[in-house]
Each structure stands twice: as C-alpha cells, then as structure tokens.
Structure 1
Amino acid sequence: MKMIIYLLIFSMFTTSVAMAADTIVFPSKSGNITFNHKRHIDFLRNCKNCHEKAPGKIVNFGKDYAHKTCKGCHEIRGTGPTRCGHCHVK
C-alpha cells in the first residue's frame, strides 16, 4: 500500500513537470517578457531554485520577484539577460 502511495505522489510530481509550458509570455507595460521555461528546467535541473516548494505557480511572482530573483540569478551565474531591453520586448 505504501508503494502505491509513493508511486502516486511521484507520478503527480513528474506529470506537473512534464505538463509545464515550454515558453511563457508575461505581459508588461514596458514590453512583454518571453520566458523559456524548458531552457531553465534543462539548465537548472532543480525546480526549487525558483519554486519555493514544488513545481507550480510561484507565490508572489511579479515585477519585484523577477527583478530581484531572476535578474539576480542571471548576474550571479554570468548568463542570461540582465538589462531591461533584453527581457522587455515591445
């Protein structure tokens, strides 16, 4: 019985990762931001780098989160966009 429960939990986790959109577009007054989710999954390999608990919507995601967390990660790793026009495209 425990094995069945573990398999159900595992399948729920892997299904949510598999069903995640490859590309997400976030509307913005400064120009829409196209986010390549698949590329981040392939590069980071750990959902908890961005998601607090597990795959799914990021709590409090918005301008402040993106400018601090996303841009900060790009600056630390030395890869990815760090300037306004690199993310915001009109």
Structure 2
Amino acid sequence: MKRTVPLLIVLMVNVPVVKAADTMIFPAKNGNITFNHKHHTDLLKECKNCHDKTPGRIANFGKDYAHKTCKGCHEVRGTGPTRCGLCHRK
C-alpha cells in the first residue's frame, strides 16, 4: 500500500486525462464533416489554436465556430477546405 499511492500520483500527473480520437465525424444536415484531429495536432502543435484554455471539448463548438475558426484558419494559411462541399460529404 505504501508504494501504491505514490505510483498512482505519478501516473495521474504524467498521463493525459483525455485523448481525442485521431479522426472525428461531426453530423451535419448538408453532409457529415470528417475531421482529422491527429493531422491538425501534428501540423499546428499548439492546442490553444483551437481550444479555449486546455485540451478537451471546445466551448460553443458548432456551425458558427467551424465557419469562423476552422474555415478562417484555412483561408489565412492558404491550405485546407474553404468551400461547403469540401468539408460536408454526403
């Protein structure tokens, strides 16, 4: 028991609480959006580019967020989909 508690503390500090799936699918009326989270994390390296404060669920995530933040980032960087049919797939 004396060794168990310190071991659990070390594990809790060094293991991320939540790990997002490599690929996520967001349902939408005009076609589902497939989002490659791993590609974006490998490319951007900084969670704060998309997430409010810490990794995890994005507050106010939805159509307006995606159209402003995701599409806006793609336009600024000159890469990634910026037209409806490139994200929304039936």
TM over 0.5: yes
Q: Which structure is higher in helix share?
A: 1
Corresponding letter in the other structure for 1:41: T
Corresponding letter in the other structure for 1:35: F
**Aligned partner of residue 56 in structure 1, secondary structure:** coil
Q: Which runs of 4+ in 1 moved over 4 A?
A: 5-9
Alpha-carbon distance between aligned partners in 1 of 2:64 and 2:82, rounded to the nearest angstrom: 14
Residue 50 (structure 1) aligns with: 50
The CA RMSD measured in Å over matched residues stands at: 1.9
Query: CA shift at 1:7, angstroms?
Result: 8.0
- Give me the TM-score of the superposition, normalised by structure 1: 0.83
Following superposition of structure 1 onto structure 2, how do residues 33-72 of structure 1 map, counting pairs within 5 Å? 33-72=33-72
Corresponding letter in the other structure for 2:49: N
Q: Give % identity.
A: 70
Gaps of 5+ in 1: none
Query: CA shift at 1:8, angstroms?
Result: 4.5
Gaps of 5+ in 2: 1-8
Following superposition of structure 1 onto structure 2, how do residues 1-90 of structure 1 map, counting pairs within 5 Å? 8-9=12-13, 11-12=14-15, 14-16=16-18, 19-90=19-90
Per-residue CA shift, 1:53-89, capped at 9, x if unaligned? 0100000000000000000000000010000000000
